[in-house]
Amino acid sequence: MEQAKRDNEEHTRKRREGRLHGELSESLIQRLRNCNPPQLQNAMRRCRELLKAHRRPPLKSDCRNRFQGSVRVSVAVGNKRYQYETRSCGKDCGKCPNHGPYLYVYTRDGALFPAKSLGRAPFKAPVPRKVKTAIQAFHKQELNLQAPPAKGQRDTTTLLR
């Protein structure tokens, strides 16, 4: 039983690593081997379409997830989408202070659109100017709508410069 569990974990790990290096599963290789030439042509056409999709940025509707609160800024750059979002912690979140907004970057990976967190400003990784500008505009608008920040409160607009 323990051994079976370990074998299974090992298999999953290998499959994930293989995916990073472009390895195909045995079952997919077998299925391609079963195809006739028109089917193989069709498969190649589909592959080209899917490769093209990886060069485009994810749509805003692709970047949804369970913990997402509100999306304050959404900007596409190259094949990535940057979103400035609030997030729920999943625990009775009505009582929490606001979580975020934090910056996330989404990229297509097969049928999935995993998000990488870049945190709050100053961000964990370099961010394109177009994204910084959009976030600055968002904060400027927020400041105009609210009372001036309390003494000692972090001014995100300054950190973004």
Binding site for Zn ion (CB under 5 A): 89, 93, 96
Give the E-state strand segments of the chain in sequence order.
68-77, 80-87, 102-107, 115-119
Closest CB 115 distance from Zn ion, rounded Å: 17
Nearer to Zn ion, 38 or 97 (CB): 97
Nearer to Zn ion, 72 or 81 (CB): 72
Residue 104 near residue 60, CB atoms below 8 Å: no
Closest CB 94 distance from Zn ion, rounded Å: 8
Contacts of 54 (CB under 8 A, 6+ apart): 79, 108
Closest CB 99 distance from Zn ion, rounded Å: 5
Nearer to Zn ion, 22 or 97 (CB): 97
Token readout for 103 is 């910056």
Beta bridge partners of 74: 83
Nearer to Zn ion, 20 or 89 (CB): 89
Closest-CB residue for Zn ion?
A: 96
Alpha-carbon span 118 to 123, nearest angstrom? 5
Closest CB 68 distance from Zn ion, rounded Å: 13
Nearer to Zn ion, 87 or 132 (CB): 87
Closest CB 93 distance from Zn ion, rounded Å: 4
Q: Provide the edge-to-edge strand list for the sheet that holds 68-77.
A: 68-77, 80-87, 102-107, 115-119
Residue 58 near residue 107, CB atoms below 8 Å: yes
User: Residue 153 phi/psi, 5° resolution?
Assistant: -75, 140
